[in-house]
Amino acid sequence: MLYIIRHGKTDWNIRHKLQGRTDVPLNDIGRQMARDAHDEYLNVHFDYCFCSPLKRAQETAKILLEGRDVPIITDERLVEMGFGIYEGVENVFNKPECPVRELFFNPAEYEAVGGAESLEELLARTDHFLNDVAFPLVEEDKDVLIVGHGAMNSAIVCLVKHKSVDQLWEEGIENCKLIKLM
């Protein structure tokens, strides 16, 4: 089986700030969400956990898997999508002049500027991870958990479910909600 989960909440989530690769830790709400997920998913078996290198994902993985003998393996390909100079911008949805806004409303038309990562780059690196690591383990009947982020997890969903980039946000990747992909 292949599962994904998004990290718990951070102060930037609460303030609706673009986090991207900015290494923002969980807040108390996020830690509690991870503890709740630990209890809720205690009976879901995982052989491996692959995790983003960012603190919020790492901490979520450690809390979620506390007391289990599941290795947590960091992989750079699971880092959140980079938003370049737009990281830290608040309320992007209400700022039509912000180019990153297009990613959320019309992903197929999104153009990365200001040092941001393109959607094509995000899809390529997550596709490499899936083909190099996750899919071979699933083929060996291993249960794989990926602990990541909103955009990165959405890219994985699109790839696994063969969705177009226009459908990037259809799954609605909530904080600390486990999604079984295959």
Q: Angle at Cα 78 formed by Cα 73 and Cα 81, nearest 5°? A: 155
7, 59, 117, 171: the active-site residue: 7
Query: Among residues 38, 59, 80, 171, which one is catalytic?
Result: 80
- Amino acid code (one letter) for 77: R
Nearest to 21 by CA among 89, 99, 104, 80: 80
Alpha-carbon span 49 to 71, nearest angstrom:
6
Which residue has tokens 């780059």?
121
7 belongs to the catalytic site: yes
Question: Which active-site residues does the annotation give?
Answer: 7, 80
